Amino acid sequence: MTDYKRKYWKRSVSLVMLLFALMIYDLTLGSFSISLKEVFKGILNYNPENAGEMTVHIFRFPRVMMAVIAGAALSVAGLLMQTLFQNPLAGPYVLGINSGASLLVALTTMSSIHIFGSDVGIVFSAMVGAFASGIFILFTSLYVKNKVSLLLVGIMFGSFTGALISVIQAYADPDNLKAFMLWSFGSLQGVEYNQLGLVGGLVFFGIAISVLLIKPLNLLLLGDNSAFLLGVNVKMIRVLIILSTAILTGVVTAYAGPIAFVGLVVPNMVKMLYKTANHYHLLAGSMLVGAILIVLCDVAMQLLSPIVNLPLNALTALIGAPVVIWIIMRKF
């Protein structure tokens, strides 16, 4: 085993252990403390008459698992976007992928347009919105070669969809408007225990697509022309990347709201940590670091809840915005 592989496995195992420890700690936090024994019983075989075990099973375990799923999904989506557009500042939030998902969710929840009128309908709406936004940005990238200009297009697209959402809000039912506003703040409490299978399954499918694309992703780093000469069907790979990003971003946005900056910040952190361009390592690292970041945010929210209730979206922005400024100063 080479020195790099040894370092890679040491770092990855350390991240897994850190994630597991944070998850267990997060499960003990809340309005009242719960013992580790109650935590494990609440996950595996809870007693409905035990308040601690029931709380873990119904509220805390779904919340923590959603933190892990959201962090991993958004980080992988961000890595795919950065590789596709060859831009360290690309990400689902900055390029407007989240905005497209939010627009379709707004149409589904605040108007009479209901695709299925259920949780599946909202998830489908978010994925369609994310995919359409991704295709738009991909089409734009064919004509806009400058990296900064493409980011500006993404920001303007996000502003345009935000304006459309405001128009929908102006005519929405007050109850639906309130529900949408709370959703837009970002929350990990939107998933119930029996929904974890659906959410986790869709995210697993999106990540599985990205895993199958590891070799083409590595070749895309050489440039589209070089990748094509090496046998990569660049057009098909682009569509598959957008599809994977749409699934990952759409599912998380539907259930947890538009979470900012995670998909932008985490891949850059992982590249510095692992010091490699191999997507086999970057995908694994992004999933682990992204999950750790969102679980850490949830821990911070639980610890600060007696003092102030911080929305998840606000907390990730507070962390992510300074990092983005640092990346801009470092890269450009």
251-291 pLDDT per residue, tens = 898 888 888 889 999 999 999 888 888 999 999 999 999 99
Q: Is residue 105's pLDDT more than 50?
A: yes
Q: Is residue 148's pLDDT more than 70?
A: yes
pTM of the model: 0.91
Q: How far apart are CA 92 and CA 244, in angstroms?
A: 12
**∠ Cα 264 203 221 (to 5°):** 45
DSSP 78-139: HHHHHHHHT-TT--TTTTTHHHHHHHHHHHHHHSS--SSSSHHHHHHHHHHHHHHHHHHHHH
Ramachandran quadrant class, 275 (left: phi over 0; alpha: psi -120 to 50; beta: rest): left
Choice among 27-41, 104-118, 197-211, 234-248 with the minimum mean pLDDT: 104-118
At 70, which CATH number?
Answer: 1.10.3470.10
Q: Which residue has the tokens 């799923």?
A: 69
Q: Which residue has the tokens 């007696």?
A: 306
What pLDDT sits at residue 118? 59
Domain holding 219, by residue range, is 3-331
Q: How far apart are CA 9 and CA 6, in angstroms?
A: 5
In the chain, the amino acid numbered 207 is I
For the packed helices 196-212 and 119-141, what is the interaxial angle rounded to 10 degrees? 20
Mean pLDDT, range 184-211, rounded to an integer: 89
Q: How many CB atoms lie within 10 A of CB 275?
A: 11
Taking a C-beta distance cutoff of 8 angstroms, is the pair 23, 68 a contact? yes
Domain count, the chain: 1
Instruction: Encode pLDDT of 64-76 as tens digits.
Output: 999 999 999 999 9
Cβ neighbors of 144 (< 8 A, separation 6 or more) are 150, 153
Q: How far apart are CA 151 and CA 51, in angstroms?
A: 49
Q: How far apart are CA 159 and CA 94, in angstroms?
A: 11
**What is the percent of the chain where pLDDT is above 70?**
95
Kindly state the tokens that stand for 115: 């695709």
What pLDDT sits at residue 216? 93
Q: Which residue has the tokens 């990730």?
A: 316
**What is the percent of the chain where pLDDT is above 90?**
30
Q: Provide φ and ψ at 277, rounded to 5°.
A: -110, 5
Kindly state the tokens that stand for 259: 């979470």
Rounded mean pLDDT of the chain? Answer: 86
Tell which residue, 261, 209, 243, has the closest CA to residue 138.
243
What pLDDT sits at residue 331? 64
* DSSP letter (8 states) at residue 231: T
